Amino acid sequence: MVHTVATNSNPNTTKLCNMKSSIILSIALLVAASASAQEAPKNKVIITGVRFTYPLVEHWIKGYTADHPGANVVIETRTTTDPSKYDLLIEAYEPEKAVKESRDYLYIGRYALLPVANATSAFAQAYKDKGFTKPLIKQLYFNDILADKDKQQEIKAPYTVYTRLQKAGAPVTFARYFGFEQSNITGKAIAGADEHLLKALLKDSTGLSYSVPGLLYDRQTRQPVTGLAVLPVDLDDNGKVQDSEKIFGNLDAVLTRLEEGDTRNVPVEYLHLSLSKVNTNTEALKFLLWVIEHGQEDLHTYGYLKPEPKRFDTEKEKFEQRAAAR
């Protein structure tokens, strides 16, 4: 007699096995998706540096990607420090020698620094016409222990100077032009970018500061941003502001006058893009070469001065040789 042994399948056991299989499959899919997300896109170009240049850099990126569909060029915003990884650095003051030796530099354009006050302030009303001479600029903006107090002007309108807390291109350039260091600038030191100075100034009816034309003027109207009064300065340094020097109500008039040369009491400094000498990202060099070819067209629109042609041509040749050597 043959005995048949019946095998009864436990439905609970089968259900548990199916659940385990589903969990394992889900985990595998998540791991694969995570690994894919962490892979850096090929030929990604990271740019960082001085924040007041970002609108101009964003415009360049837009133009470059239009000419090179699929290109991946991004700005990593600078905070108190630079990002841990980047390809191109845009900066607004001359680097130290040790840093400069490790990178190739393109001095792409120049920026100016102009005095600005809250437009509603009594101070702006008092100085929007008579403007600033060099001695008055030094008196207003700097702690000068050597100044002859007897020769200083009497200033009846209240004012509060706002400046940058961290070391940065604008305050370094502004101070050095007048023979000081950033630490000598008086007033309230504000953490953050140059834009934050203007935000603080707009909230203070006694506010006084300095900034770049790209932040002070409306790009479309070419007039000062609402709430700001860009104050005239003695451009020929003859001790008074003449009618011909009262040009600061229009951005294009300011740029034209400054590019004519031989102007005084307006600090002007270069912007430079740099690339590490050992950087192997060919897309970063391609982007920089595109900026060399096309970037000059946009400088005035965004409030910048063009570079000196001879210097620019020399640096253009340097990067073209670097590209040819690859």
Following DSSP, what letter does each residue of 3-72 receive, concatenated? Answer: PPPP----HHHHHHHHHHHHHHHHHHHHHHHHHHHHSPPTT-EEEEE-GGGHHHHHHHHHHHHHHSTT--
Cβ atoms of 133 and 234 closer than 8 Å: yes
Listed in sequence order, the DSSP H helices in 204-308 are 213-216, 251-259, 282-294
pLDDT exceeds cutoff 50 at 4: no
Residue 261: the pLDDT is 80
3-state secondary structure of 319: helix
Q: How do residues 245-283 score in pLDDT, each as one tens digit?
A: 999 999 999 999 999 988 999 999 999 999 999 988 999
Asked if residue 182 has pLDDT above 60, the reply is yes
Q: What is the pLDDT of residue 42?
A: 57
Per-residue confidence (pLDDT) for residue 20, from 0 to 100:
47
Q: Which residue has the higher pLDDT, 77 or 147?
A: 77
How large a percentage of the chain has pLDDT more than 70? 87
| Sheet containing 160-164: order of strands | 188-190, 160-164, 207-211, 114-118, 228-230
Contact between 257 and 304 under an 8 Å Cβ cutoff? The reply is no
Residue 95: left (phi > 0), alpha (psi -120 to 50), or beta? beta
Amino acid at 40: A
- Please name which of 107, 91, 108, 111 lies closest in space to residue 49, comparing C-alpha atoms: 91
Q: What pLDDT is recorded for position 96?
A: 87
**Section 161-170 average pLDDT:** 96
Q: Which domains does the chain have, with CATH numbers?
A: 45-110+269-324 (3.40.190.10), 114-266 (3.40.190.10)
Q: What's the pLDDT at 145?
A: 82
pLDDT, average across residues 164-168: 94
Per-residue confidence band for 29, with pLDDT thresholds at 50, 70 and 90: very low
For the segment 56-75, the average pLDDT, to the nearest whole number, is 97
Confidence of residue 6 (pLDDT cuts 50, 70, 90): very low
- Tell me the mean pLDDT in the region 274-296: 94
* pTM of the model as a whole: 0.85
Looking at residue 10, its pLDDT comes to 52
Give the tens place of pLDDT for each residue, 183-218: 999 999 999 999 999 999 999 999 999 999 999 999
CA separation for the pair 89, 81 (Å, rounded): 12
**Is residue 168 over pLDDT 50?**
yes
Burial of residue 101 (number of CB atoms within 10 Å: 0-12, 13-18, 19+): exposed
pLDDT at residue 39, rounded to an integer = 33
Q: What is the pLDDT of residues 37-64, one digit of tens each?
A: 333 355 799 999 999 999 999 999 999 9
- Rounded to 5 degrees, φ, ψ at 268 are -130, 135
Residue 187 vs residue 150, higher pLDDT: 187
